[in-house]
Amino acid sequence: MQVSTNRTAILWQQVWGLAALLAAILFSFMAYGLYQPTILKSLGFVELATWLGIVQGFLGAVLEPLVGGLSDRIMRRVGCRLPMISVGVTLAGLLFVVLALLIQGNLPNGVRWLVPVLMTVWVMAMIVFRGPAIALLIQFAPLAELPKASAILIFVLGLVGALGPLLGVLFQRLGASPTFILGAIALVIGALRLYSTTPKHSLVLPEENTQLAIPFLPLILLFGVGMGAGLEINVLLGIVPQILTAQLGGIRPEYIASGILLVSALAAIPLGELSIKLGVNRAMLLGLGAIAGLMGLSLLNRTPIPTLGLILALGATFGLVFISQIPFALSKVPLQLAGLGTGSYFGGMGAATALASILIVQLGKVTPTAGALWTAIAFLFAALCIAFSSIVSSPASQN
């Protein structure tokens, strides 16, 4: 079976298979995020527990584009990204199992450093296949219909993210080692689901005798949009729930964040249609601008009923950004550079996560007012990058 770039139908089975793998990735990162600080502190790496996440964020900023570009070369050479995904899944699963075995026993002081090293290598292994997996979406749907396919991914990921508090309870009851093994199993199941729905095929691309030129300026702008969006999302999920919790009678912030993610999942299908009608450029601008505006409104609100409206609105705008971001990235580069395009965007998001963590470390705590200010700055920066990307975008862009 071959997948043509001029196809008009969406390959729904393959999209659901990709959603299963991405859900497994999110599940694994949730497990890792819960136990990473605890494990490092128990081993005596108290300060490292704070800074390791920052280092890993910057690693993602560098590795995401590099890995994406490598997956494009493999795609052009062998007609498939699955070999790179297979390597990444296998390595990440094995490392999860090794970490589970290491933290079970009392490690001697001389080998405890292995744990943070293996944690960092695990994050790198996840990056090896996450970006190429996301780039598969261009093979499963025509460019004009990508937001519809992306909506399925956000529907699944939003539901998994909304289950965060419940999964946290489950992980704590299981303990670190069983949780890591469960994460490894989830990755294997997700990969098998993707493989079972994706027949061996190649993406039909225009024949080119010359080496494809890399569009550096669009890639830099994609990185910038990813940074702006990443900073807004970090503020949305990290600070806004803390603001709203006092307005809802002390409901825990993680449950408010879950509510936002649940709304984004339930609204995914109509938001996909909206993204197509608006065009991904306008959809990104609308979503990011609305997040910045709603962040400001959350500072002014004092009563429960408007707070519920804010949660609904934040969930919808969050969903609109996440549904539009992959189609947006893929529309800015030639189809043969899909991995590099998505890698550049998500590399920017990784840099934003690291920068947000640095702000928290340096300031101790980011106040709501400071969060609103940073959100506004991030939106303006992302909006400028989107505007310039519309001018310099590749022929793949249809918006």
Q: Are residues 244 and 175 part of one domain?
A: no
Instruction: Look at residue 305 in the predicted model and tell me its pLDDT.
Output: 83
Residue pair 365/215 in contact (Cβ under 8 Å)? The answer is no
Domain that holds residue 57: 11-144+163-202
How many Cα atoms sit within 13 Å of 128 on the Cβ side?
Answer: 18
Which long-range contacts does 268-273 make (Cβ < 8 Å, 24+ apart)?
268/151, 268/152, 268/154, 268/155, 268/158, 268/319, 268/323, 269/151, 269/155, 271/151, 271/154, 271/316, 271/319, 271/320, 271/323, 272/147, 272/148, 272/149, 272/150, 272/151, 272/323, 273/147, 273/148
110, part of any domain? yes
Alpha helix positions (H), 267-367: 268-278, 280-300, 304-331, 338-363
Q: Which residue has the tokens 């219909």?
A: 145
* Claim to verify: residue 229 and residue 187 sit in the same structural domain: no
Return d(Cα 295, Cα 372) in angstroms, integer. 6
In the block, tokens 């670190």 appear at 176
> What is the block-wise mean pLDDT of the chain (399 residues), using blocks of 10 residues?
53 94 94 90 80 84 92 84 88 92 80 89 90 90 92 95 93 92 94 81 45 83 95 88 82 91 95 94 95 89 84 94 94 89 93 85 74 91 93 54
Q: Are residues 101 and 234 in the same domain?
A: no
Contact 316, 52 (CB under 8 A): no
pLDDT number for residue 245: 86
Specify whether 284 is located in the same domain as 328: yes
Both 226 and 181 in one domain: the answer is no
208 in a structural domain: no
Give the model's pLDDT for residue 357: 82
The pLDDT value recorded for residue 3 is 42
Task: Give the closest residue to 325 by CA, choosing from 227, 203, 215.
Answer: 227
Q: What pLDDT, on the 0 to 100 scale, is given for residue 159?
A: 96
Judgement on whether residues 85 and 174 belong to the same structural domain of the protein: yes
Total domains in the fold of the chain: 2
Domain co-membership, 177 together with 326:
no
Q: Are residues 370 and 267 in the same domain?
A: yes
- The answer to whether position 316 is within a domain reads yes
Per the domain annotation, does 294 fall within a domain? yes
Distance of CA 19 to the CA centre of its chain: 12
CATH number at residue 274: 1.20.1250.20
DSSP 8-state class, residue 213: P
What is the pLDDT at residue 209? 43
Q: Which residues contact 343 (CB under 8 A, 6 or more apart)?
A: 64, 65, 66, 67, 68, 69, 71, 131, 135
pLDDT of res. 399: 40
